[in-house]
Chain A
Amino acid sequence: MTETSRIESTAAIGAARDERLRQQSGLRRLLSRPELGAFAGAVLVFIFFGITAHGTGMFAADGVLNWTTVSAYLMVIAVGAALLMIAGEFDLSVGSMIGFAGMMIALPTIVFHWPVTLSVIFAFAGALAIGFINGLIVIRTGLPSFIVTLASLYILRGLTLALSILFTNRTIVVGMKEAAEGTFVGFLFSGTIGDPLFTWLADNDIIGRLPNGDPSVRGIPMVVVWALFIALVGHIVLARTKVGNWIFASGGDANAARNVGVPVGAVKISLFMLTAFCATVFAACQVFEFGSAASDRGLLKEFEAIIAAVIGGCLLTGGYGSVIGACLGALIFGVVQMGILFTGVPNDWFRVFLGGMLLIAVLFNNLIRRRVVGGR
């Protein structure tokens, strides 16, 4: 990405050709983007299910809503994970952070009777602080983020369970739906938008209706809006700003980046805060959608986020990847996960097919990228 933009600017300044730069056609430049493989993988996946899950309801309105919602939840955390991975670090505490952030919203609301808005602000502040501490420890000690955040994984999961038992003597804190009734934050995280559109679609028989006359889909859930919003901001920052270049540089070679004046520490710490922020958005959407926080929420979601980023073309070693790729990765994972259920594969074999499909998507992605980039 950085190279591309540099080539463009050089070309714009001097009409004279610089023999040190290889000339690339526009098509080739388009094809060498990191998200191309993921895009091809996504197309492959849709073709596959278009054939195997044809007529099962997967592509009816409520079926689409189902896998869109699953993908959107994953996309929220995948964007954070991808940006951090491009900067050369991992955050394994994302899943536990989801559980913990949920408790930070639910416990103050239910036990201490705080207004929900205040609880949500408290949860975001708390999550950012934890992200900051994660980042600070990684930067100060130079320990692998893999180990540091593995510790946070256990600490946060444990705290989630311990605090909910301590305050309520149960592991599930309920009553959030009632507490958020009619509030703006309730709408912000679990409302739906575009309801009139769907009513119109149902009136014109474009989507189905329930027996009671309501359209089969009420509206677009806010988590989808959040996912697109985070993805858009993440993409712009990474691809169009100085900070984006810093992120690539920190992940490519941290020392070299430091030597040319990139604030590597600050970049990485803010990205750890970003992953915690994304986890909290995930948690807030879940808490307000289901009306409760539970100590086992978000189990293994950190791996799903990393998988989505990698399917989307991020390198595990850092320095390469894209936000759009991660979003496509989340889409692939969500569609495969729910799509297999539509095809009616026996449950005992379900994970085998899930793993197989993901492997094929990644191999295909890799193949396309190699073909196009050519020996890189």
Chain B
Amino acid sequence: MTAGIIRRTFLAATLALPFLGLVAPAHAAGERFVFVSHAPDSDSWWNTIKNALKNAEHDLSVKVEYRNPSTGDIADMARIIEQAAASNPTGIITTIADYNVLESAIKGAIAKGIPVVTVNSGTGEQSKKLGALLHIGQPEYDAGKGAGERAKAAGVTKFLCVNHFITNTVSVERCQGYADGLGVKLGDQMLDSGIDPTEVYNKVKAFLTAHPDTNGILTLGPNSADPTIKLLRDMGSAGKFKSFISFDLDSDISKAIKDGIMEAAIDQQPYLQGYLPVVFLTEYARYGVIPANNINTGPGFVTKKNIGLVEKLAGEYR
């Protein structure tokens, strides 16, 4: 509260400075950033990031515009990045959903002299190759592998990977990591479930009926996890699976963890992927300072032990 007052006073003073005829302040409030994600409109997971952006906007007195391609078409995303660059923002924050498609758009923005921070999808290496300042995200393959190793320890031999965004290369890396962690070759265990809940439900049901010896499940996010949880509840067959792990969190997943249906959720702490890049780019614009290394916001495993706080904030800030 006090901090808020001080900040507001400071801001008022800053705004008043030019009128007093004093030297212009070191920075002008009102930096504008554009955050470009690859998620289609239907993907609710990004709500946490949108909330983080709103908080950052408020805390730093900057403006952040969130943009996404409505159908999740990465070619459309490239156009949005080009558009963002043409609008001369203070900085651009983008995911690297597909390196090849986004390469020229992101490089174009950087060539124009706009600082870029990459978040979420993509690797630190790709980020560096593009010329971005840094990457903030979760190494997906490693996160998948960590889940696979957990599953192996639980005794999983045959698994199902429910993939609701198969067209994104990152999704395949998660399944591949899991398979490698388990020491199994990835083949038809990766199910292209689509994003529609009814469709996911029925496809998973069909797969489990066709492969009754499956004893481990990996879902790649709430879009694939929620219908799968419902299915296991409906069939009462949760006990059959030695390990059920999901990427990311929402209220259904945290409830499933509490009920013991799900073993763990891989939390990449998306809030940080929304909040931190805005902080870094703002400080970079104002004082020219920025961390030198990439930042891993995950993987953190949420289990029955630490679910308490997480559950309260799931879907909003976690």
Contact assessment for B167 and A295 in the assembled complex, using a CB-CB cutoff below 8 Å: yes
Min CB distance, B80 to chain A, in Å? 7
Interface size on A, residues (CB 8 A): 43
Contact between B86 and A294, CB atoms less than 8 A apart = no
Contact of A57 among B63, B70, B88 (CB under 8 A): B88
- Check A60 against B86 for contact (C-beta < 8 Å): yes
A58 at the interface (CB under 8 A from B): yes
Stretch at the interface among A33-41, A206-214, A252-260, A306-314: A206-214
Q: What is the 8 Å Cβ interface bit string for chain B, positions 74-109, against chain A (1 contact, 0 not)?
A: 110011101111111000000000101101100000
Whether a CB of chain B sits under 8 angstroms from the CB of A117 is: no
**Residues of chain A contacted by B50 (CB below 8 angstroms):** 347
Which residues of chain B from 11 to 55 have a CB within 8 Å of any chain A CB?
32, 41, 50
Closest to B67 in A: A347
Total A-B pairs in contact (CB under 8 Å)?
Answer: 107
A290's contact among B32, B41, B70, B78, by CB below 8 Å, is which? B78
Contact A347-B66, Cβ < 8 Å, known A216-B112, A299-B71, A341-B87: yes
Tell me whether B213 is interfacial, beta carbon within 8 Å. no
Q: Are A341 and B73 in contact (CB under 8 A)?
A: no
B75 is contacted by which of A174, A210, A290, A351 (Cβ under 8 Å)?
Answer: A290
Alpha-carbon distance between A216 and B74 when the two chains are bound, in angstroms: 23
**Bound form: Cα–Cα A174–B103 in Å:** 13
Contacts of B166 in A (CB 8 A): 161, 171, 295
Which chain B residue shows the least CB distance to A343?
Answer: B87
B169 at the interface (CB under 8 A from A): yes
> Hey, which chain A residues are within 8 Å of B65, CB to CB?
341, 344, 346-347
- A291 CB-CB contact with B under 8 Å: yes
Cβ contacts under 8 Å, B169 to chain A: 170-172
A344 contact set on B, CB distance < 8 A: 32, 63, 65, 87
Contact of B83 among A171, A291, A295, A338 (CB under 8 A): A338
Q: How far is the CA of A66 from the CA of B100 in the complex (A)?
A: 19
Task: Say yes or no for A56: interface residue by CB 8 A criterion.
Answer: yes
Residues on the B chain within 8 Å of A161, using CB: 166, 192
Q: Does B172 contact A (CB under 8 A)?
A: yes
Distance between B148 CB and nearest chain A CB, rounded to angstroms: 18
Q: Decide if A367 is an interface residue (CB 8 Å cutoff).
A: no
Q: Is B72 an interface residue (CB 8 A)?
A: yes
User: Least Cβ distance of A117 to chain B in Å?
Assistant: 21
Instruction: State whether B98 touches A66 (Cβ < 8 A).
Output: no
In Å, the complex CA distance between A216 and B85 comes to 11
A145 at the binding interface (Cβ < 8 Å): no
Interchain CA distance A207-B104 in the complex, whole Å: 20
A319 within 8 A of B: no
* Cβ distance B200 to chain A, nearest Cβ, rounded Å: 16
What's the minimum C-beta distance from A174 to chain B, rounded to whole angstroms? Answer: 5
B87 contacts which of A56, A290, A298, A347 (Cβ < 8 Å)? A56
Residues of B within 8 A of A216 (CB): 112
List A residues 142-163 near B (Cβ within 8 Å).
161
Flag if A297 contacts B73 (CB, 8 Å).
yes
Judged by a CB distance under 8 angstroms, whether B68 is at the interface is yes
Q: Which residues of B contact A351 (CB under 8 A)?
A: 41, 70
Give min CB distance, B116 to chain A, whole Å.
14
B101 contacts A69, C-beta separation under 8 Å? no
Q: Which of B66, B84, B100, B103 has the most CB of A within 10 A?
A: B100
Cβ contact within 8 Å between A286 and B85: no
* A289 to B79 CA separation, bound complex (whole angstroms): 12
**Are A69 and B112 in contact, CB atoms less than 8 angstroms apart?**
no
The reply to whether A296 and B41 form a contact with Cβ atoms under 8 Å apart is no
Does B111 touch A at the CB level, under 8 Å? yes
A211 and B86 form a contact (CB under 8 A) = no
A159 to B: closest C-beta gap in Å: 14
Is B113 on the interface with A (CB-CB < 8 A)?
yes
Decide if B87 touches A214 in the complex (CB within 8 Å). no
| Contact A292 to B167, CB < 8 A, known contacts A62-B86, A212-B111, A347-B66 | no
Give the complex CA separation of A177 and B102 in angstroms: 13
Does A300 sit at the interface, judged by CB under 8 A?
yes
Instruction: Specify which of B63, B79, B85 lies most central, judged by the most chain A CB atoms within 10 Å of its CB.
Output: B79
Which residues of the partner chain B approach A49 to less than 8 Å between Cβ atoms? none
- Per-position binary interface string of chain A over residues 23-57, scored 1 when its CB falls under 8 Å from any chain B CB and 0 otherwise: 00000000000000000000000000000000011
A70 within 8 A of B: yes
The one of B67, B79, B167 in contact with A171, judged by C-beta atoms closer than 8 angstroms, is B167
Are B71 and A290 in contact, with the CB atoms below 8 A? no
Do A63 and B86 have beta carbons less than 8 Å apart? yes
Given contacts A66-B79, A296-B167, contact A290 B73 (CB under 8 A): no
Q: Are B167 and A172 in contact (CB-based, < 8 A)?
A: yes
Q: Return A164 CB to nearest CB of chain B, in Å.
A: 9
Which residue on A lies nearest to B34, using beta carbons? A341
- In the complex the two chains form, is A296's CB within 8 Å of B112's CB? no
- The answer to whether A290 and B79 touch across the interface, beta carbons within 8 angstroms, is no
Q: A57-B86, A60-B86, A62-B85 are in contact. Are A294 and B71 (CB under 8 A)?
A: no
- Among the listed A214, A290, A346, which residue makes an inter-chain contact with B101, where contact means beta carbons less than 8 Å apart? A290
A sample of 15 more A-B contacts (CB under 8 A), given A161-B192, A295-B167, is A56-B88, A57-B87, A66-B79, A66-B82, A70-B79, A171-B172, A172-B167, A211-B113, A291-B100, A297-B73, A297-B75, A338-B79, A341-B83, A341-B87, A342-B87
What are 28 A-B pairs with beta-carbon distances under 8 A?
Answer: A63-B86, A65-B86, A66-B82, A66-B83, A67-B83, A165-B192, A170-B169, A170-B172, A171-B166, A171-B167, A171-B169, A171-B172, A172-B167, A172-B169, A174-B100, A290-B101, A291-B103, A292-B100, A295-B166, A296-B74, A297-B75, A298-B73, A341-B65, A342-B83, A344-B32, A344-B65, A347-B66, A350-B67
Interface of A toward B, CB cutoff 8 Å = 56-58, 60, 62-63, 65-67, 69-70, 161, 165, 170-172, 174, 177, 210-212, 214, 216, 286, 289-292, 294-300, 338, 341-342, 344, 346-347, 350-351
* Chain B interface (Cβ < 8 Å from any Cβ of A): 32, 41, 50, 63, 65-68, 70-75, 78-80, 82-88, 98, 100-101, 103-104, 111-113, 166-167, 169, 172, 192
What 9 A-B pairs have minimum CB-CB distances, sorted nearest first? A63-B86, A299-B71, A296-B167, A290-B101, A347-B66, A62-B86, A292-B100, A171-B167, A291-B100
